[in-house]
Amino acid sequence: MLQQIEGILFQEKPDAVLVYGDTNSTLAGALAAVKIQIPVIHVEAGLRSYNKEIPEEINRIMTDHVSTLLFCSSPNGILNLQSEGITKGVFDCGDLMKDALILLQHRLQDSVKEKYIFATFHRPYNIDRIERLTQILDILNNLSVKVIFPLHPRTRKAINSNNLKLSDYKNIRFINPVGYIDSLRFQKYSDCVITDSGGIQKEAYWLKRKCITIRSETEWIETLKGSWNELIFDHLPFIGSALRNTPIESEYQTSLYGEGDASGQVSKTIFTFLKSLKK
């Protein structure tokens, strides 16, 4: 990616490079740009899980430290950057994912006429060891509510390579991976969301759905307030009791991660920055 992106940058000669989030392509784009002195703009900056065993944590730290403009989803992101000595070009703009969800709310019609839990898992620490994978599946299979489980390619590969039979899990409805809108729809009408995803934690919160996150930490720490999101990792059997913990309505923050106008704030700031480069 570094080699190919650098070639495109030399050819196109952009005034700046915008990268989003914490994927490998985020870091590749940022490094390719900064090596040839093109300003980097990082949207979703300042997130920290403080677990460097997760590749995304390394990606976001390195990207933040070479960026010229840094757009954070919350004030906590700004504090994280300040603790690392990054104070210039930092903005709290809210989260673009909230903008997208608000735009698409009208398309989220219910199509499942039964109570269910929506589950997604794909991270190596949850699926690469057969003992943990089967424990998660067994717990989901023994819940009192039906589970709808779209299989990430990595998860399906782990299941197949360990010769697990999907038909043995009668309470779990395994389905193919779903697109963005279907994922939101399944979350909105579920009784609860169980996941190891980062973005789904936010989406579940905005849709006012209880979330149980199968991770030892989260970068989206604000969602933990009021038990709207709960972390479970070492003690997987606690999933059942966590399902019975009702989120505290009075602790819910309607404006968490912005008011749905992050895209406007980001674009306005970027255009102002680009104009300053022309002077």
Catalytic positions? 122
- CB contact set of 171 (below 8 Å; sequence gap of 6+): 140, 141, 142, 143, 146, 147
CA distance 194 to 215: 11
Return the closest-CA partner of residue 20 out of 59, 53, 52, 54.
59
68 phi and psi, to 5 degrees?
-95, -40
Beta bridge partners, 230, equal: 212
Give the number of other Cβ atoms within 10 Å of residue 51's Cβ. 13
What tokens does 159 get? Answer: 């299941």
Of residues 201, 196, 204, 139, the one with CA closest to residue 172: 139
